[in-house]
Amino acid sequence: MSATIVVVGSFNLDMITTMERLPQPGETVQGRRFSTGPGGKGSNQAVAAARLGAEVSFVGRIGHDPWGDVALACWQEEGINTDHVGRDAELATGVAPIWVDDEGENAIVCALGANLALTREHVDAAADRIAAADILVLQLEVPLDTVAHALKLAQKLDVPCILNPAPAQSLTPEMLALASWLTPNETELATLYGETPEDLGPLVTHEGQTLIQTMGAAGARWATQSGTGQVPAFEVDVLDTTGAGDAFNGGLAVALAEGRELEDALRLANAVAALSVTRPGTAPAMPGRAEVEALLASG
């Protein structure tokens, strides 16, 4: 039986320009290639999970514009349920201009548009689908009030949650405590807690919570109230790191929903992220199940 995942989150149309190096403030550099494609943290995580074979539903907002049509076409192609995706009459679909340099590093600016119109009521309308899910996945490209409400609803429904606190912003201790799994990167961890400590254990709020710090080429480290550990990354040739965190979170959601033990789940998530950075783009770069299993089998 496949994993059942609900993602409450964002869609942005990625507008990607590749270049030799990222510009300094006030500087103009020559771009090499421009492309567009489906993106947004929530949508990317939904696509990553769907390509691994999960049954995925998306809860979000897009505009009545061509970029919204791109979103719907993407989700239809990936087999993602869109019963709880609304189209806003006034706000445009979110967009994300992205710069990527020759080292695979990136800089991103998001204009979130209709994503910011996702409300508590939209989440409540999807309560039955959330109740039937193995895991609810959340990020921070929609209003914090909506994210907090979704976390509380999931707790009420006894559905575990992955909270990917990205992009980095401060959250209340009460909100952090509602997450079953917290998955910040180094910047997000420092924003949440004021530091990047050597020991993650003291940051874990309760026995049922796991804190996972993603560390790029160094893999991921984890902590619960009873232990800590680290799972190494897979060595690959990096082309574009954009969306790697989303790939990780989508993979993690599926692995946990399938009942894998934590370090095994993190290994699968690392494999999904590793494969995603070997190709350009975000959602289009998400790997399928067969290639993930092949990488896992390789060592």
Mean pLDDT of 20-36: 93
All structural domains of the chain, each given as residue ranges with its CATH number in brackets, are: 4-11+42-93+116-297 (3.40.1190.20)
Tell whether the model's pLDDT for residue 49 goes beyond 80.
yes
Q: Which of 14, 88, 134, 246 is catalytic?
A: 246
pLDDT band for position 30 (cuts 50, 70, 90): very high
> Is 124 a catalytic site residue?
no
How does the average pLDDT of the chain come out, rounded? 95
Query: What are the backbone dihedrals phi and psi of residue 59, each rounded to the nearest 5 degrees, phi first?
Result: -120, 115
Structure tokens at 195: 């530091």
| pLDDT single digits (tens) 174-186 | 999 999 999 999 9
Mean pLDDT of 22-46: 94
| pLDDT single digits (tens) 100-154 | 898 878 888 889 999 999 999 999 999 999 999 999 999 999 999 999 999 999 9
| pLDDT single digits (tens) 65-94 | 999 999 999 999 999 999 999 999 999 999
| pLDDT single digits (tens) 200-228 | 988 998 899 999 999 999 999 999 999 99
| pLDDT number for residue 1 | 62
CA 299, CA 111: separation in Å to the nearest integer? Answer: 40
| pLDDT number for residue 122 | 98
Provide the whole-model pTM.
Answer: 0.94
